[in-house]
C-alpha cells in the first residue's frame, strides 16, 4: 500500500486504519488521509483501502471515555458549511 501522501515510500508516519460499517452491516477498511479543523470542529477524510474512489468525510467527536469517535454529519447546515470551506480551500 502506498502512503497517504501518495508515495510508495517516504518518511511519513503510517496512516491510521479504521473500519466503517455500510448500510448492509458489512465492514470496510479505510485510512485517515487528512484532518480538517473548522472553528471548534474537527473532521477527517477517510479513503477506502478497497477502492480508491470511495471515501468518507466524518466528524470527530469526544466519546464518553474521552477518546475520539468518528460520526456521520447528519446536520445539513453543518454539511453545507463544510462543503463551502472545502471549496474555498481548493481554490
Per-residue pLDDT of the chain (91 residues; tens, 9 = 90+): 455 555 555 656 667 899 999 999 999 999 998 889 998 999 998 999 998 789 899 999 999 998 999 999 989 999 999 988 888 887 7
Q: Give the containing element (helix H, strand E) for 61.
A: strand 55-62
Q: Is the CA virtual torsion 54, 16, 90, 77 positive or negative?
A: positive
Amino acid at each position: 500500500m502506498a502512503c497517504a501522501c501518495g508515495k510508495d515510500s517516504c518518511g511519513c508516519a503510517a496512516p491510521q486504519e479504521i473500519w466503517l460499517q455500510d448500510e448492509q452491516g458489512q465492514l470496510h477498511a479505510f485510512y485517515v488521509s487528512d484532518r480538517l479543523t473548522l472553528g471548534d470542529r474537527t473532521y477527517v477524510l477517510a479513503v477506502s483501502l478497497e477502492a480508491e474512489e470511495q471515501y468518507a468525510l466524518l466528524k470527530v467527536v469526544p466519546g464518553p471515555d474521552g477518546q475520539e469517535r468518528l460520526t456521520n454529519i447528519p446536520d445539513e447546515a453543518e454539511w453545507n458549511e463544510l462543503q463551502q470551506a472545502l471549496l474555498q480551500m481548493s481554490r
